[in-house]
Homo-oligomer: A and B are copies of this chain.
């Protein structure tokens, strides 16, 4: 097997993690619940140490001239540590997917065929600044019976080390091999490259972060990758939409948290309803300080609307900016979404059930919402519990990834000596 970047630093850690994965998989549900609960307790107990490490990360980042948004993602305080602890306690309590029998059938020859969930094995998480991912990802992977290798951003290294030390202590206390949780502490890029080449050891890589990181991982990985790309999410206001309902979805989708992937980026409005709906919508958006970039029809309604280019329609603004276009039919809206969308989340506002079904059937996005906000495309909101990300890869898992997506179904067959070709 070719290894383009064999520095040899990661491989032994990964082999030890893969071997330790067998111990994690062998734990029963109660043991894995206790383990994640102990991890929550350890973070709680080590709060001061973790905050101290985070303060040094923040100091370094400020000295390096890091900007506000990045500093905010990096920052931990009592409330955020409390959030991590609460998230781990929630993960500990989630139903255990491992061992779940998803199908069972007795074949005509008497074989009892079961499909049973087993852990994936060894998962590599590659992420950026936010230190809470270290705890969340570790807890989700271990809860689902896997080992995990974490490669966080160098700017959060001290915080991640403190969190990992705390989690390792919990593992020791539960007599679980610490090797099942690896934090790569050397930020050199060749170590990440080496990790992504370990096809015989790593079962899955999950990158989380900006588009640049995800493209880098997708480009260089030889191990399977589930990508969590950008969300260019659309709201289509159908000719048969309830205007007040549509406006509510628009304002929630665009303004309730503009920096996340399930926020709206583009509004498409049917030309029959545009004259009545759009002026009110533009007024409401202006009231929320949203900058609008629109097509000609939209611009004719307000001088404050800038010109929308194709780049705007393809953009994930992650900011209080919205692209707007008037379309003459639902087909035109669907064609627009197919061209510019990212398969993340699309919303239709309509009172016409046939229009809703056509919209749902015509789009292949991970979530399609009928008369509900795009912001609901989230593991917690859709009933999965905590999520490890939202997949835009149409393989294995598509949309929010919960615990179940960190397992795979395999076959267990029980017989009494059946053979395929009786002699």
Instruction: Give the residue among A105, A121, A394 with the most B Cβ atoms within 10 A.
Output: A394
User: Which candidate, A7-15, A321-329, A359-367, is the interface stretch facing chain B?
Assistant: A359-367
**Is the pair B395, A203 in contact by a Cβ cutoff of 8 Å?**
yes
A160 CB, min distance to chain B CBs, angstroms: 26
Contact B375 A420 (CB under 8 A): yes
Which residues does chain B contribute within 8 Å of A377, judged by CB atoms?
Answer: 411, 413
Query: Which of A51-59, A65-73, A161-169, A248-256 binds B?
Result: A248-256
Main secondary structure of the interface of A (DSSP, over half): mixed
Question: Which residues on the B side are within 8 Å of A409 (C-beta)?
Answer: 398
Known: A113-B383, A376-B418, A419-B256. A199 touches B218 (CB 8 A): yes
Residue from A257, A372, A383 whose CB has the most chain B CB atoms within 10 Å? A372
| Chain A residues in the interface with B (C-beta under 8 A) | 1-2, 22, 25-26, 105, 107, 111, 113, 118-121, 199, 203-204, 215, 218-219, 222, 224-225, 242, 244-245, 248-249, 251-252, 256-257, 338, 356, 360-362, 364-373, 375-377, 381-383, 393-396, 398-400, 408-423
- Contact call B368/A415, Cβ cutoff below 8 A: no
Task: State the number of copies, please.
Answer: 2
> Closest CB-CB distance, A420 to chain B, in whole Å?
4
Within the assembled complex, what's the spacing in Å between the Cα atoms of A249 and B413?
A: 14
Q: List 28 A-B contacts (CB under 8 A).
A: A1-B219, A26-B361, A26-B362, A107-B381, A111-B372, A119-B364, A121-B364, A121-B394, A204-B395, A224-B393, A242-B417, A251-B423, A257-B421, A367-B412, A368-B413, A369-B413, A369-B414, A371-B415, A371-B416, A372-B414, A372-B419, A373-B419, A376-B413, A376-B418, A382-B413, A395-B408, A396-B396, A398-B409
B417 and A381 contacting across the interface, CB-CB below 8 Å? no
Q: A360 CA to B119 CA in the complex, in Å?
A: 13
Known: A107-B383, A120-B394, A381-B420. A410 touches B415 (CB 8 A): no
Are the CB atoms of A414 and B370 closer together than 8 Å?
yes
Q: Are B399 and A367 in contact (CB under 8 A)?
A: no
Q: Are B417 and A248 in contact (CB under 8 A)?
A: yes
Residues of chain B contacted by A242 (CB below 8 angstroms): 417
| New A-B pairs, 14, CB < 8 Å, besides A121-B364, A252-B423, A372-B413 | A22-B338, A25-B364, A113-B382, A120-B395, A204-B394, A244-B417, A257-B420, A364-B410, A368-B411, A369-B413, A371-B418, A372-B414, A373-B415, A398-B410
Contacts of A338 in B (CB 8 A): 22
